Amino acid sequence: MGKYQSDPELIRACLSGRKSAWDELVDRYSKLVYSIPLDYGFSPSDSEDIAQNVFFTIFRKLDSLKDQTKLSAWLITITHRECWSFRRLRHVSYDETLDFPEEAPPNEKLRRWELQQDIREAMSRLDDTCRDLLTALFLEQGNPAYAHIAARLDISPGSIGPTRARCFRKLEQILRKAGSHLLEEEKQPDL
């Protein structure tokens, strides 16, 4: 432990403008924050960028943390969200996935096209809330904030995660009923 024994004490010092407190906050939590994007499979360089964005967010929003004993949980949540945002920023647009390299075998092109068709069909069968939420989170360009998506869909920002999980389950059920090969082909072996 550094100069500040508890997270609430550290937070109070940060909010009072002590540079040493900010340095200690970064030192105390940098390994944790850096490890999460690595677990997502990001490169060390991307993980550093994500960690930098997380600490910038903490710098701007630390005063909004209501329960100061939950700093590490809050950091983890922010880091996961930053990983998702970072991935979405690099996500290829949905229509661009139809472009295949010329050297791809015709059967591979056909298989990928069929999988995309399965997803499009399943998305069209979702209710409006699920279709709009999944589209906003994964298919639209840019990086919409949860607050913006929540306002647009008339739901609370805190319900986006649970709603997203329910929507994925609905999408999976639709794909299973349709007999999509997507679910079988994408399964990973148990390790």
- Residues 153, 136: contact at Cβ < 8 Å? yes
113, 127: one domain: yes
CB count within 10 Å of CB 92 equals 8
79, 107: one domain: no
104, 69: one domain: no
* 112-131 tens-digit pLDDT: 767 777 787 888 888 888 88
Tell me what pLDDT residue 156 has.
87
Q: Give the chain's length.
A: 191
SS3 189: coil
Tell me what pLDDT residue 90 has.
66
Q: How many structural domains compose the chain?
A: 2
Tell me what pLDDT residue 12 has.
94
Tell me what pLDDT residue 97 has.
42
Residue 155: inside a domain:
yes
* 86-105 tens-digit pLDDT: 877 765 444 444 444 455 55
Structure tokens given for 135? 């589209």
111, 81: one domain: no
- Ranges of residues in the chain whose predicted pLDDT is under 50: 92-101, 185-191
> If you ran DSSP here, which 8-state letter would residue 63 be given?
G
Q: What is the CATH number of the domain that holds 130?
A: 1.10.10.10
Q: What is the CATH number of the domain that holds 67?
A: 1.10.1740.10
Domain span including residue 85: 7-89
